[in-house]
């Protein structure tokens, strides 16, 4: 009888097609990831990867957008503090090095703004 092939602790028959999702399952547990996916459905989780380190972020909400906007217009706080706020507010779990190591933090903060641009929209005045 042939053995089921194991890849990264996940049986081949259950391995997700998406490599990032497979790594999330391995790192944080399938049940936990699927729980977050159900909790925030239909919106998707956001994942930031910096040199192999992972951070799982929940989808951004209206409240966070409002606070973020107010922080960006405050010249004393600016974009860096606003992006740090978003990273902190949206963080579900991940490697603490992303928040603790300045090199990783800078890379992550640059990606946080992408959570604001998930849906493209258009505005027309006619």
Which pTM value belongs to this model? 0.76
> What is the spatial distance between Cα 107 and Cα 48, in angstroms, rounded to a whole number?
9
Supply the pLDDT for residue 17: 55
Supply the pLDDT for residue 116: 74
Write out pLDDT tens, residues 6-15. 444 444 445 5
Question: Which residues contact residue 104 at a Cβ distance below 8 angstroms, ignoring those fewer than 6 apart?
Answer: 50, 51, 53, 97, 98
- Pick the range with the lowest mean pLDDT from 27-31, 49-53, 68-72: 68-72
Supply the pLDDT for residue 120: 62
Reported as a pLDDT band with limits 50, 70 and 90, residue 2 is very low
For residue 116, give both structure tokens.
Answer: 């604001």
Of the candidates 29, 33, 34, the residue with the CA atom closest to the CA atom of residue 10: 29
User: Looking at the predicted structure, is the pLDDT value of residue 35 above 50?
Assistant: yes
């Amino acid at each position: 009888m042939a053995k089921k092939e194991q890849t990264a602790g996940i049986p081949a028959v259950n391995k997700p097609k998406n490599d990032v999702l497979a790594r999330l399952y391995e790192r944080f547990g399938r049940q936990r990831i699927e729980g977050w996916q159900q909790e925030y459905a239909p919106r998707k989780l956001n994942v930031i990867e910096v040199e192999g380190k992972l951070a799982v972020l929940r989808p951004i909400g209206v409240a966070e957008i409002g606070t973020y906007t107010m922080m960006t217009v405050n010249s004393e706080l600016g974009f860096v503090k606003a992006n740090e706020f978003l990273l902190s507010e949206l963080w579900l779990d991940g490697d603490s090095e992303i928040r603790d190591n300045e090199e990783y933090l800078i890379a992550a903060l640059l990606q946080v703004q992408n959570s604001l641009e998930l849906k493209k929209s258009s505005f027309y005045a006619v």
